[in-house]
Amino acid sequence: MYLEEETSKKSEVISCIFSLKEGVGALAKGLRLFEEKGINLTHIESRPSRMNNDQFEFFINVDASCSQALDEVIDSLRTQISGHVHELTRNKQKDTVPWFPNDIQDLDRFANQILSYGSELDSDHPGFTDAVYRTRRKEFADIAYNYRHGQVIPRVEYTAEEKATWGTVFKELKTLYPTHACREHNRVFPLLEQYCGYRQDNIPQLEDVSRFLQSCTGFRLRPVAGLLSSRDFLAGLAFRVFHSTQYIRHASKPTYTPEPDICHELLGHVPLFADSSFAQFSQEIGLASLAAPDEFIEKLATVYWFTVEFGLCKQGSEVKAYGAGLLSSFGELQYCLSDQPKILPFDPDKTSLQKYPITEYQPVYFVAESFEDAKERVRKFAATIPRPFTVRYNAYTQSIEVLDNRQQLRNLADSINSEMDKLCEALKKLDEV
C-alpha cells in the first residue's frame, strides 16, 4: 500500500494503493476490513499489479478523518489476507523523513498518483463538452498509465486536426525565438528539427526526443497521465527524468491551454534539457526536494515555477526567456519582455515566497544572472532545508546515494579524487601543446 496524504487542507484525503492476490472474493474481503472500521472510501480504481502478474492493485481515496482506523486496516491486510502493504508518507510528524525514491525504477511507484486522469476535465476546459476529445485524452492517459521504466514509449498516430493545432503553435512561436528566447534554446532547436522531427506538419514522438536528450545530458522523458504532486514531480528531476504529457490542447483554442500539453513540453521544456548547465540546474532542484519537509516542497515548487517554467536570464546586455511556460506561449513570450510586468533579481529566499497566478500572465518575473549563478543560489538555498543527511545522484547506478556515514563519504572522496586526477592530467597536456 502506498500512502500519500495531500498537503492541501481543502482535500483532507489520503490516497492509497494496496495489492491483493487474484482470487474469488479477494477484493470483497479487503473492502470488508475498511467497512468494519467505518472508513469512508471516496474513490476506488483497479488495475493489474505492476510487480506481480497474479495480483491486482486497488487505488482508493480515504477520508483523512479515518487515519487512525486506517492503521488497523493496514495491519489486517498484512496478517489476515497477505495483502502487499507499503507506507510512504502519512501523518507526517516533525521528526519523520518523508519517503523518496532511491532507484530510478521507484518512479513507477508514484507515476500514476495523479491529480486528474484522462477525460476528467474541468468545466471551463475548452474540450469539456467535446466527447471525441475526452475519449482521445483517455487514450493518451492509458498509454502513460501502463508505462513502466525501461520500456519504449509507445508511438502515437496523431490526427490531422492534432497536427494542425501543433502547426499553428509551432509556426507562431518559431518567429519569436530568435529575438526572445535564450541562446541555449536557440542553439538546440535546430538540432531537434534535424534529429527529432520538429516540423510544422509533424508532432515529434516522445521516444525519439527522449533518446536525443539522453545522448545530450542524460535527461529522459516519461509519459504521464496527468498532473503529479509537486513532491513527486520534483523527485523525477533528481533522476533527470521529466514527466511529460503526450496529448495536445483542444483545437478550438490552439494558442491557449489550461494545463501542460505536448506543445508546452516539447517546445518549452525539451530544448533546455539538452543544455548541460540547465540540466544540472533542474536536477539540483529535484535533489533538494528529496526528503524535504512539506513546507519546503512548496517553496521549491515556487522556485521551480519562477525558473524552469517562467524564468528570465541575462545574456549580455539583454534579458531573454528560458522558462518553458514562456517559450510555449506566443502571447506571454512577448509580454514578459515588455515594460508591463515587474522584473526582480532571482533570489531563492525571496522567490520561494512569491505568490503567483496560474491562469493569467505573471505580474512578476525573476531574472537570473546566468544558469550557473542560479544553480549556485539554489544549492545554497537547498542547504537550509532541514534533513538529517545529504544526497547525491549516482549516474552509473541511476540511484540516490544517502551520504549519512563515513563509508559513503570515503566513496565520494575517492570518486572526486579520480575526477581531479583526470582534470590535472588534461590541464598538463594542454600546457604541453
Give catalytic residues, as residue numbers.
Answer: 264, 269, 309, 328
CA distance 388 to 420: 28
CA distance 273 to 189: 11
Closest by Cα among 380, 384, 338, 328 to 363: 338
Which residues are registered as beta bridge partners of 48? 56
Helix ranges (DSSP H) in 290-370:
294-304, 324-327, 330-335, 348-351
Helix ranges (DSSP H) in 110-225:
131-145, 160-180, 183-195, 206-216
Q: What is the DSSP string of 133-151?
A: HHHHHHHHHHHHHT--TTS
Neighbours of 199 (CB within 10 A): 14
DSSP class of 308: I
Question: Are 335 and 290 spatial neighbours (Cβ–Cβ below 8 Å)?
Answer: no
Alpha carbons within 13 angstroms on the beta-carbon side of residue 247 total 27
45: left (phi over 0), alpha (psi -120 to 50) or beta: beta
Cell numbers found for residue 99: 519517503
Chain mean position to CA 281:
14
Looking only at the bridges linking them, the beta strands covering 342-345 and 364-368 are parallel
Cell numbers found for residue 307: 525558473
CA distance 365 to 319: 11
Altogether, the residues listed in the chain come to a count of 433
CA distance 377 to 281: 10
Q: Which long-range contacts (CB under 8 A, 24 or more apart) does 22-29 make?
A: 22/54, 22/55, 22/56, 26/56, 26/81, 27/56, 27/58, 29/80, 29/81
